[in-house]
Amino acid sequence: MEKGVVTEFEYPYTAKKGICHARRYRKYYHVKIKDYCAICPHTVPILKSFIYHYKRPLTTILHIRNLKAYNRIGIYAVEDDFGKKVQHQQVVNIVGWGYHHRGNISYWIVKNS
């Protein structure tokens, strides 16, 4: 990246479709990506360990195989969809994880772009 990125405070997220107004915020560009790495093997425990120890999000591609499982409030319920054709891909940042005791379901907490 040539100019860097702005913080969420400087260019807040709005949960609606619209136009990118990044040019308005050029004077704020100050954060630059200096380095990156691939995490291999990318198992659940290793990904959780990275987020916990480094206090950084992970950028990944979410392969959505069942668009009907992706609901309006942004929850993508993955069950046994491996082997099915990928219908959509979405780049997301994994910022955490959780566990729903009632449903006995583990989940990732992600920020969508």
pLDDT in tens, 84-99: 777 777 888 889 998 8
Confidence grade of residue 107 (pLDDT, cut at 50, 70, 90): confident
Q: How confident is the model over 34-85, as pLDDT tens digits?
A: 777 888 888 889 999 999 998 888 888 877 776 666 555 566 666 655 667 7
**Whose CA is closest to 93, among 108, 103, 107?**
108
> Is the per-residue pLDDT at 106 higher than 80?
yes
Q: Are 97 and 107 in contact (CB under 8 A)?
A: yes
pLDDT of the residue at 52 = 92
Q: How many helices (H) and strands (E) does the chain have?
A: 1, 3
CA distance 53 to 50: 5
HSE (CB half, 13 Å, CA atoms) of 105? 11
